[in-house]
Amino acid sequence: MSTTPSSFKVPFSEDSEVQELMQEQCKNLYSTLPRERWQGSSYLYKYNGFWFTTNQLPGLVEVQKHFQARDSDVLLITTPKSATAWLKALAFTLMNRNIHPINPSHPLLNQNPYVLVPQLEFYALSHDKQDPEYSFRQYFQDSRRLLGNHCPLRYCLSQ
């Protein structure tokens, strides 16, 4: 039995060459990690002492390689299914109250909190092969960045 997910796709990568390379790297990584069956036919993979899904792990590896935290960053680190959307909406409103006062055109009335406060591990995969820092600059140019994550803080920082 293979230890790598057969239907694994790296999300968000627009360049097929980058996507193929990342998929190969992920398959190689998955083959070396302990795994446990989770929710039917899915697996969790143990990476540096913590269990991750096949959706989280590729982005997490990219975050560790390329993400440079700033002193002004605000990281919303939550476990899945722990009122993350509510917390993102609250944090977005508080951090942007001067830019977006509460009124009928407030961004939260038209956009999902997951769009306004992106998940770090998923946006890490949308980079240009020539410039790995591209996605972090493109999506997070403001000096104060509000980012969500479902991984422990130590996994968000470069090694």
Query: Catalytic residue positions?
Result: 150
Closest CA to 120 of 55, 60, 50, 61: 60
Number of C-beta neighbours around residue 82 at 10 A? 9
Q: At what angle do helices 57-66 and 16-32 cross, to 10 degrees?
A: 110
Residue type, 34: P
Does an H or E element contain 43, and which?
strand 42-47
Q: Are 27 and 45 in contact (CB under 8 A)?
A: no
pLDDT averaged per 10 residues, the chain (length 159): 38 58 78 88 87 83 79 87 93 91 91 88 61 51 78 72
Question: What CA dihedral angle connects 49, 54, 59 and 60, to 10 degrees?
Answer: 0
Q: How high is the pLDDT of residue 150?
A: 85
pLDDT score for 34 = 94
pLDDT at residue 84, as a whole number = 92
Q: What is the pLDDT of residue 158?
A: 59
pLDDT at 106: 92
Supply the pLDDT for residue 1.
Answer: 35
For residue 15, the model assigns a pLDDT of: 57
Predicted pLDDT at 58: 82
Would you call 149 helix, strand, or coil by DSSP? strand
Collapse the DSSP code of 38 into the 3-class scheme (helix H, G, I; strand E, B; otherwise coil) and give the result.
strand
Contact 106, 114 (CB under 8 A): no
pTM of the model: 0.70
